Amino acid sequence: MTTVNLPDAETPELSGTVNLADIEALGRSRLDRNALEYYASGANDEVTLRENREGFRRLRLRPRMLVDVSSVDTRTEVLGLPLAFPVGIAPSAFHGLAHPEAERATARAAASAGSVMTLSTFSNTPIEEVAREVPGRFWFQLYPYKDREVSAELVHRAEAAGARALVLTVDAPFVGRREPNERHRFALPPHLKVPNVGSRERLAEFESESGSQLVNYFQGLISKTFTWADLGWLRSVTSLPIVLKGILTAEDALLAAQHGAHVWVSNHGGRQLDTAVSSIEALPEVAEAVAGQVEVYLDGGVTRGTDVLKAVALGARAVFLGRAALWGLAAGGEAGVRRTLDLLRDEVRLALALCGKQNIGQVGRELVRL
């Protein structure tokens, strides 16, 4: 069980943080081993997990000089939803491991910062409760279930609650092997529920003498046969824009566009196929393949405002934070997530100015040396 007992207001420790690394350190210190290993772990040797960050560090910016940057505008939009800057919150399971307010706190922080949260199917909070906190300012993430009636019901609930988009995760027909979770048998604490996917009793059915409870549960739940041909069925049950999360190649990006779906470049935070390309490495070919037909997003390894600009320059409409938001939530609840977003927005604004750009629309591929 997590050790967090902070109110959702800035503490001296939180207000003393100056970057996302500080918030990560604080957040990590407030989690027990079960929660920390679940959030932090990557697949196998964690090569891709590390490369998500290293890929950004290898890219170099090409700033322009003698530009009037007395007024810098960080605003953009995703699927018609205005954002204060090109950063949202990626779907991640079990925010209740980090803070008692769980996804409600994350969603409120995102909305108050002019951002958007993507709610995970595996949240500890019902869709409808999150929707009441942030009406019209959330997306909903879905896994393709074996039971299509379950999938359809979730989609209908999300749409009725006011979700602005449906994010289908396509890179997880099986769960990647996250060895710390296997070694120490990750399990959800008894006080936490999974209200969007079944009862607590249903989850308990997947307890075993070895391995991660989540893996055991997930393997029996998710479809292994869902293909491109099935996207037509998904379109038939919703009018929401569909985003495919987990795309890493030009070939799949083009197929997504041909099926009328937007593209989310992601390797699941390095938690699925180890030694897969990093998200930022995959982004240029994805963006080139879709050629503006659909919107492109990215998650994985974003910790600095310069990372955001690099992703935008290479074709992303916006980036989404996974672990960074969770570290903020663990560090200080809603205030911790808001602090994370505020620090990153300040860094984006400064990086824009120092690159000689007056607004996000001026950021193009010429800004980055590949």
User: Which positions are annotated as active-site residues?
Assistant: 268
- Residue type for position 268: H
DSSP alpha helices (H): ranges in 85-230?
A: 102-112, 127-133, 148-161, 179-183, 200-204, 213-219
Ligand-binding annotation for 211, yes or no, is: no
Structure tokens at 330: 């663990």
Q: Give the CA distances from residue 88 to residues 78, 81, 117, 308, 324, in Å, rounded to whole numbers and listed in that order.
A: 10, 11, 6, 11, 11
- Residue type for position 345: R
Q: Give the CA distances from residue 196 to residues 79, 122, 158, 324, in Å, rounded to whole numbers and listed in that order.
A: 25, 7, 10, 24
Ligand-binding annotation for 144, yes or no, is: no
Ligand-binding annotation for 141, yes or no, is: yes
368 forms beta bridges with 61
Best CA proximity match to 244, nearest among 143, 338, 152, 175? 143
Ligand-binding annotation for 92, yes or no, is: yes
β-strand pairing of 87-89 with 318-321: parallel
Q: Cβ–Cβ contacts within 10 Å for residue 57, how many?
A: 14
Ligand-binding annotation for 48, yes or no, is: no
Ligand-binding annotation for 137, yes or no, is: no
Ligand-binding annotation for 120, yes or no, is: yes
Ligand-binding annotation for 365, yes or no, is: no
Kindly tell me the sign of the dihedral angle through the C-alpha atoms of 285, 287, 292, 295. positive
Ligand-binding annotation for 198, yes or no, is: no
Ligand-binding annotation for 322, yes or no, is: yes
Which SS3 state, helix, strand or coil, does residue 44 take? Answer: coil
Distance between CA atoms of residues 138 and 176, nearest Å: 27
Quick one: residue 44, left, alpha or beta (phi over 0 = left, psi -120 to 50 = alpha)?
left
Ligand-binding annotation for 91, yes or no, is: yes
Strands (E), 62-112: 76-78, 81-83, 87-89
Ligand-binding annotation for 323, yes or no, is: yes
Contact yes or no for 329/322 (Cβ under 8 A): no
Q: Which segments are annotated as binding site for FMN?
A: 91-93, 120, 141, 169, 245, 266, 322-323
Q: Which segments are annotated as binding site for glyoxylate?
A: 38, 143, 178, 268, 271
Q: Which segments are annotated as binding site?
A: 38, 91-93, 120, 141, 143, 169, 178, 245, 266, 268, 271, 322-323
